[in-house]
Amino acid sequence: MFIWSNIFRGIAMGVTELVPGVSGSTVAMFMGVYERLLQALNDLTTRNWKRALGFLIPLGLGMGCALLLFSHLITYLGKYHKMPLFYLFVGLILGILPFLWRSSHIQTNKSFRLFHLMLIFLSFTLVALLRLLHDPTASMEQTGSVEHTANMLTNLSFSTYLFLFAAGWIASTALVLPGVSGALMMIILGAYDTATIALKSFHIPVIFTIGLGVCAGIFITSRVIRFFFNTYTQVTYAVMLGLVAGSIVLIFPVGMPYSFLYGVICILSLFAGFMTAITFGKVERT
């Protein structure tokens, strides 16, 4: 009944959600489970709810473990090895784009027309412009507010919990949309530090409040996206392509590696991410 291999997929998605600018649903796409994820979320309120839970529970367990176990590691990499980390995800996204393009043609048996190309450009631009609001590659280096945020966890009011619930809801909308990062939305809303410190210190009330908002948002947003996939398949794929491609601009590191060896490491990270996505894409086709 339970698809236990989803634990590993959930871990990959959870680690990704810890990186501002990178979407866990993008990883779900190259692992070939994105549409199955949307279907399972929709099936929760149907007679197929047992099958949906068999898919979702292992996935959720994997994501939860990743959020709790890898938050320190991702924070460390983001602070001291930012460029290789983000080049790895740039490579993943570059490898996903051919898979998405090919999937669109397979699902609809049609080529993109001018209208669809315009949708790709528009959604690409909208995501890329998020960098003007906040640079996700710089946010992981900012540690000045961490101590202040840790102190805040002991003085949270009812209105703060409402805000955290709303932040989780909004971030979950980004979580379901490929190319849009839930972590980045939390940063823009000003709730990222609170959520990160809560995870590190295992602060149950904050984790539960944000998680409740995330669950509520995912449940509703997934239904909307599933409707568009079923009704306007090619249009939806065009928008997804633009969102995912735009996230490259969003997370691309600024500046040059400080040494030749570090530059080689960045290139190898980019290549590793690209080949990982291509390999998963080939497995999905077979």
Q: Are 110 and 43 in contact (CB under 8 A)?
A: no
pLDDT tens per residue across span 82-113? 899 889 989 988 988 888 888 777 777 788 88
Sequence ranges of the domains in the chain: 6-285
Which pTM value belongs to this model? 0.75
Q: Is the pLDDT of residue 284 over 70?
A: no
Using only the alpha carbons of the chain, give its radius of gyration: 19
pLDDT at 146 over 50: no
**pLDDT tens digits, one per residue of 25-58:** 878 877 778 888 888 988 888 888 889 999 999 9
Q: Which residue has the tokens 């040494």?
A: 259
Q: Residue range 134-140: average pLDDT?
A: 67
The pLDDT assigned to 144 comes to: 43
Higher pLDDT, 268 or 106: 268
| CA distances to 29, 37, 88, 183, 272 from 276, in Å | 13, 21, 10, 23, 6
